[in-house]
Amino acid sequence: HVERQPKNASLHYICDNYNTHFNDDFCKAVAELSGIIYTPLKTGKERRHWLQSGNKRITIHFLPFHGSWLNMIEIWFGLLGDKCIKKGWFESVEALVQALNDFTETWNKYFAHPFTWTYRGEGLHGKVVRRFMRLLLIESPQMEIGFLTKQLLLVRNMAQNYWIQVENKDWHQMLDLITQKDVYIRQVIAFSNKEKQILKAEQALLELTKILYNNLVSRVPHAKSA
């Protein structure tokens, strides 16, 4: 898409908050397409700030966190693009604006209706746990201590307060994976040079491991003697 635009055009892209949208490789690609030099940044916060800065050709705008309500807006813009823009031909900017206004007016008059949110969170707790397991499994080189700590605390909260909402097999896999990926997790933590950050991550890891062990291992009934 970038290559099809005029070389002097400022481009703005909207992205969600997946780690792949602010990792080092993504920043390098943005810098290359913007024709500037990128100096590697250590933290996701620094990379997000750099991506959002307006002093380069491409500016990234991130959706707000916890913005599931925006899904309906995304769907509507998808309809606008599919029904109005993609199949239309516009001889001028004014003609495009008129078409957009006409589509919006028609939508509001004949198709718009209140949205009733019916999802109650079924299966969400398990998805949170499995998502973290996938991240550990691939040993992402972009994993940083801040993100790791948040995930450890989130899964710890799941284990502490919503244990029965997640299948036992997922908890078993979580405990096995934390053990198998101990070296990788320790490397991510050790990469930080901030003592408080390291202690917080280590504490979160210890607490999660204890909860998993107590719930899965210490509660396993022993075979009775004959």
Q: What is the DSSP string of 111-155?
A: I----------TTHHHHHHHHHHHHHHHT-TT--HHHHHHHHHHH
Cβ atoms 170, 126 nearer than 8 A? yes
Name the residue with higher pLDDT: 42 or 117: 42
The four Cα atoms 118, 124, 125, 126 give a dihedral, to 10 degrees, of: 140
Distance of alpha carbon 186 from alpha carbon 201, whole angstroms: 10
Strand partners, 117: none
Q: What's residue 219's pLDDT?
A: 59
- Within 8 A by CB and 6+ apart from 90, the residues are 96, 99
CA atoms within 13 A on the CB side of 55: 6
At residue 116, the pLDDT reads 75
- Averaged pLDDT for residues 48-71: 87
Pairing status of strand 11-15 against strand 58-62: parallel
Task: Please give the Cα distance from 223 to 225 (Å, whole number).
Answer: 7
Predicted local confidence at residue 223, as pLDDT: 43
Query: Domain map of the chain by residue range?
Result: 2-62, 82-111, 124-216
Q: How far apart are the first and last CA of the chain?
A: 72
What would the pLDDT profile of 179-201 be if each residue is shown by its tens digit?
999 999 999 999 988 999 999 99
Judge whether 38 and 84 are in contact, CB under 8 Å: no
Q: Each residue of 99-154: pLDDT tens digit?
A: 999 999 999 999 888 777 777 778 889 999 999 999 999 998 778 899 999 999 99
Cα 65 → chain centroid: 9
Structural tokens at position 146: 């801040």
Q: Locate tokens 């408080």: which residue?
A: 196
3-class DSSP assignment, residue 86: coil
φ, ψ for residue 40 (rounded to 5)?
-50, 135
The closest alpha carbon to 181, from 134, 128, 126, 129, belongs to 134
